[in-house]
Amino acid sequence: GQPLDVFLTKYLFEPLGMSNTFIMEDPARIVKRRAIGYQRTNGRWHQWTQGSAGPGGRGLYTCVDDLYRWDQNFYNNRLSTGKYFTEFITEGTLLGNRNVVDATPTGTYRGVKRIQFTGGMPGYVAAMTQFPDQQFTAICLCNNSTIAPWQINARIADLYLANDLEPVQNKVDHEAARRSEDEETAVDEAELRNKVGAFRLRADGRIWRIVFRNGRLLVIDHLNNAIPLIPVGRDRFQPAGGFFEETARFEFTRTAPESPFSLTSRWNGG
């Protein structure tokens, strides 16, 4: 019976002293020290400001100092406890099987336990990476959506937890070798057209579409941006521009000649 912002402020933020954290209920509200987001689209930079209320993670405004207070509560809890809260604060799951905040919050990094929370929207990206056994956390908030904050957190951990981490295994970067051999390739129109369709992202269910226009394929993302796909093979393409880095590649695969395609996007080999 309460607005989400009122509930969270009363039961979470105020008890932890998170005085600069709230859910944005009024998009016209003036917020002191607010960071404006920046998004690069088709080679140009644009400011990104939120024009509507968002009750979920997109509507959460916070800062590093407050996230530090939230982080410390995992080790010395000051909030009211209950079954679901206990599951969340100890394992990052609810109802025994539902991961919260991130798809796989609990894992390892170079041999040590890691719990990682990530998020983003156009113009903003964030990552909070906990190493609970060392009681060490790296927090990176950024108003430039071309940066990968989880990679920055990993580099911070490499420095501060050097004595606890396993040695880095040298791996052959097969994807980098493939990229070095990529060249723009002529592909028959029929081969392009048979890849047209809608593709649902496994991570969050959003829909991207592949369309054929003016003799080439384009990817239409969930924000209706149209990015050309340059063929570097019959089933391998490089997105040209948008928010994609130069290392990005799209690969179409199918299990049988007449079966639907699956689409894999690879960024920096991931």
Please tell me the predicted confidence (pLDDT) of residue 148.
86
**Rg (the chain; Cα; Å):** 22
- Looking only at the bridges linking them, the beta strands covering 136-142 and 98-99 are unpaired
Please tell me the predicted confidence (pLDDT) of residue 187.
93
Distance between CA atoms of residues 43 and 221, nearest Å: 17
Please tell me the predicted confidence (pLDDT) of residue 64.
96
Task: Give whole-number Cα distances, 57 to 54, 102, 117, 124, 137, in Å.
Answer: 8, 11, 11, 12, 20
Contacts of residues 25-29 at CB distance under 8 Å and 24 or more positions apart, as own/partner, are 25/53, 25/59, 26/53, 27/51, 27/52, 27/53
Residue-wise pLDDT tens for the chain (270 aa)?
A: 898 889 999 999 999 999 999 998 888 888 889 899 998 776 788 898 777 777 777 788 999 999 999 999 989 999 988 877 777 777 666 676 666 655 455 688 999 999 888 888 888 899 999 999 999 999 999 998 888 899 899 999 999 999 999 998 776 777 778 888 889 999 999 999 999 999 998 877 889 999 999 999 999 988 788 999 999 999 999 998 777 777 889 999 999 988 999 999 887 645
> In terms of DSSP H, where are the helices of the chain?
4-8, 64-72, 83-91, 149-160, 174-180, 189-193
Please tell me the predicted confidence (pLDDT) of residue 204.
73
